[in-house]
Chain A
Amino acid sequence: MQEGFLLVLIALTSTGAWAVGARRLGLDSRALGAAAGRLLESLGVIVIFLAANLLVAGLLILTARSVGPRFVSLYLADDAIVLVLSVLQGLAFQAWRGAGRRPPGDGGT
């Protein structure tokens, strides 16, 4: 019941967004496929950031356990905010990538 309601809800707002995009903003409906590809790409980047965050957290905690005087729990990294921040990291990285590459010969950082 709840799953069905939520799926219908998302379908309704997506259809609304498509209508606004195509009719009011003049967006090309044929570009939706490419947009879906970029969405999957961003999701993949987010997954990589999430995995990296969890891996580095695990390594840091295990290192702290072995060298520090106090016990550090692995559950320290068990927080939904890690997922939220990984999403932001992934989106920021994609936005940076979309902003373009440095011209060849430009040594700027």
Chain B
Amino acid sequence: MAARSRAFGTLPSRSSWRSPARMIPATASPLRACRLLGAAALVLLMVSAFTPAATFLDAWIAVPSVVAPAAAIVVLGAGGGTLDDGLPDDLSLRRALRGILLYRAGLAPVLVFSGSAAEIEGRVEMAERLGVPAAAVRRAPGSHTTRDEAAQLRTLLGGTGARKILLVTGEQHMIRARRVFERAGFEPLPVVAGGAAHQNTSPQARLELVRDICQELLARLYYRAAGYL
């Protein structure tokens, strides 16, 4: 106990709590909780940054891609716009490129880009430059959330009878997106774009992966609470 007191400051022993003369300060208990919280945060930080735990977690929750012929290829927005050169930003670019490669492989007759208007125009321009005919490209602008995207694409593709779609989005986003699209009446085949770079073992890359996983878990929690999943 004495050693522990030395290590963690001046917390009194449990037996001394009963003595009015040595009453524990009102702040001691919250401070102890803060120390425990701080210790937990430090352990979590070190494990996340310096061990492959994040990579294992990511591999465990990841959805494997299913590449097969479908009625349409749907590339979801990445919440980004275009860069100064007119091309979509990194995440958006990877998803768009994956969709274009699927089209060029002849897996569907239609390629749909969703997201903000600027993002879509950047993607469409890139697709056309890479040999996708303008007639095969559809635009689904104006949606802000995954749920919006599913509803909008239901309207856009509903008339064509397209149910089976190749759904292109990021690795962490895929589980939520697939469920939302299933609820909207689609039969989505997941195609992951921009997955985690598992060979990248830098602490920064691992911490970014942990942030992405936490962000998506929170989003999934919100969708579940709101009844969207």
- Taking beta carbons and an 8 Å cutoff, which residues of A are in contact with B? 2-3, 6-7, 30, 33-34, 36-48, 71, 73-75, 78, 97
Q: A2-B201, A2-B203, A73-B79 are in contact. Are A44 and B7 (CB under 8 A)?
A: no
Name the B residues within 8 Å of A45 (CB-CB): 34, 38
Name the B residues within 8 Å of A48 (CB-CB): 34, 37
Name the A residues within 8 Å of B10 (CB-CB): 34
Apart from A41-B38, A73-B144: 15 A-B pairs, beta carbons within 8 A: A2-B202, A3-B50, A7-B50, A33-B6, A34-B10, A37-B7, A40-B39, A41-B31, A41-B34, A43-B42, A44-B33, A44-B37, A47-B38, A73-B79, A74-B219
A40's closest neighbor in chain B, by CB? B38
- Taking beta carbons and an 8 Å cutoff, which residues of B are in contact with A? 6-10, 27, 31, 33-39, 41-42, 49-50, 79, 144, 201-203, 215, 219, 222
Instruction: Tally the A-B contacts, defined by beta carbons under 8 Å.
Output: 68
Contact A37 B33 (CB under 8 A): no
Main secondary structure of the interface of A (DSSP, over half): helix
Interface centre among A7, A41, A43 (most CB of B within 10 A): A41
B144: which of A36, A40, A46, A71 is its contact (CB, 8 Å)?
Answer: A71
Q: A33-B7, A75-B79 are in contact. Are A43 and B38 (CB under 8 A)?
A: yes
**Considering the complex of A and B, which 8 residue pairs feature the smallest CB-CB distances, nearest first?**
A43-B38, A44-B34, A44-B38, A40-B38, A44-B37, A33-B7, A37-B8, A40-B35
